[in-house]
Chain A
């Protein structure tokens, strides 16, 4: 099992502040995804990063895939209450018999208060 560790587990900040969530592994992944989950709902995909060193921006969210394809980060600029949720990273393994079998991190609960 390829373990993905997320840190911190919980993050509480004020509206307008910045935050960064980390996702680390000792294993290499072919791609890495970030999902956001709101209470009572299933996770929803935010982004997929595929290339080592890749940086993707979605409005105030910036995602980075490590050069070695073992880690990733999610940075939110000027957080808003609507950013509140559980953020999950998920790695796609290289093994051909593991297609689709994403390895999920344990999640980071983000709370943004007005």
Chain B
């Protein structure tokens, strides 16, 4: 299907475990982004990527790792999950305009 998809949609994990959230887009957009959304904080940028193999930190990158070996995929890994990383995570993509297209989100709970 065309668009931007995220998996899983829901994930429960335990403190200290590694978790990877997947993001896939079919538009061949150059830019991709990872945000977390928490009550009272709006959307905060974790990492972004301007192209395959080019990534950079956003506002809240600590505890997260990204990679982008292919244009269409942008996985986000929590190396050792903490309770403070309980959140809703959104992936987005963009072409050369400012408009960002968001995925449906992944609700992550860290126990």
Query: What is the interface of chain A, defined by CB distance below 8 A to chain B?
Result: 1, 4, 6, 31, 33, 40-45, 48, 88, 90, 92, 99-102, 104-107
Cβ–Cβ contact A31 & B43, under 8 A? no
A6→B41 CA distance, assembly (Å): 11
| Residues in B whose Cβ lies below 8 Å from that of A41 | 104-105
A residues within 8 A CB of B59?
1
Which B-chain residue is minimally distant from A6 (CB atoms)?
B42
Stretch of B63-71, B76-84, B95-103 contacting A (4+ beta carbons < 8 Å): B95-103
The complex places the Cα of A27 from the Cα of B43 at a distance, in Å, of 18
| Contact between chains at B105 and A106 (CB < 8 Å) | no
| Distance to closest chain B CB from A104 (angstroms) | 4
B38: min CB distance to chain A, Å: 10
A106→B39 CA distance, assembly (Å): 8
Question: How distant is the Cα of A1 from the Cα of B45 in the complex, in angstroms?
Answer: 11
Taking A100-B48, A101-B48, A101-B58 as contacts, is the C-beta distance between A42 and B90 under 8 angstroms? yes
Known: A1-B59, A48-B98. 15 other contacts (CB 8 A): A33-B98, A41-B104, A42-B90, A42-B92, A42-B104, A42-B105, A43-B102, A90-B43, A99-B50, A100-B94, A100-B100, A104-B42, A104-B44, A106-B41, A106-B42
Chain B residues contacting A45 (CB-CB under 8 Å) are 99-101
B33 touches A88 (CB 8 A): no
Residues in B neighbouring A6, C-beta threshold 8 A:
42
Chain B residues bordering chain A, tally (CB within 8 A):
24
State the CA gap A45–B58 with chains docked (Å). Answer: 21
Q: Who on chain A is nearest to B98 by CB? A: A92
Contact of B104 among A40, A92, A107 (CB under 8 A): A40
Determine the distance from Cα of A105 to Cα of B44 in the docked complex, in whole angstroms.
9
Q: Is the CB of A88 within 8 A of B42?
A: yes
Question: With A and B bound together, what is the CA distance between A40 and B15 in angstroms?
Answer: 25
Contacts of A88 in B (CB 8 A): 42-43
For A90, list chain B residues within 8 Å (CB).
Answer: 43
By a CB distance below 8 angstroms, the chain A residues around B105 are 40-42
Which residues from chain B contact A1 at a C-beta distance below 8 Å? 59
